[in-house]
Homo-oligomer: A and B are copies of this chain.
């Protein structure tokens, strides 16, 4: 279960746009809010299937865009051929370190970088909407022990 505030954010958006709170939408949103970390569409579908409440892939994708539009989730592309979703509501902004060996995702937040970014966009008279800052490499665990692959490195 997840915090009430997140639910109401979702319900409000649906109501405002005259959309319906259906069982599949509820299940997907609830399941995703209950998880931490980054989930792909496939992983979400698998979770729901295991829960005994399967949902079609089309609905997963459609609900995912909805959740993103509502601001409940952010999506990230770590360059391995699929997007992953992460809870956004109630979380501070951050950027990512991605381990190319095991797929682990670490988070960092550097106000100093954001400040320099602002200087850059001002210099170019560029109106920023969002940014994506990712560092790829090998995490501490993989650098020493090489525990091997965890999450799919396909493509």
Contact = CB atoms under 8 A, between A and B. Distances in A.
Interface of A: 77, 79, 97, 99-100, 106, 108, 110, 112-113, 116-117, 120-121, 123-140, 143
B124 A128 contact: no
Given A133-B131, A133-B133, A134-B131, A139 B120 contact: no
How many copies make up the complex? Answer: 2
A140 B113 contact: no
Nearest to A111: B116
A139 B125 CA distance: 7
Contact of A97 (B79, B99, B120, B139): B120
Contact of A140 (B125, B130, B131, B137): B125
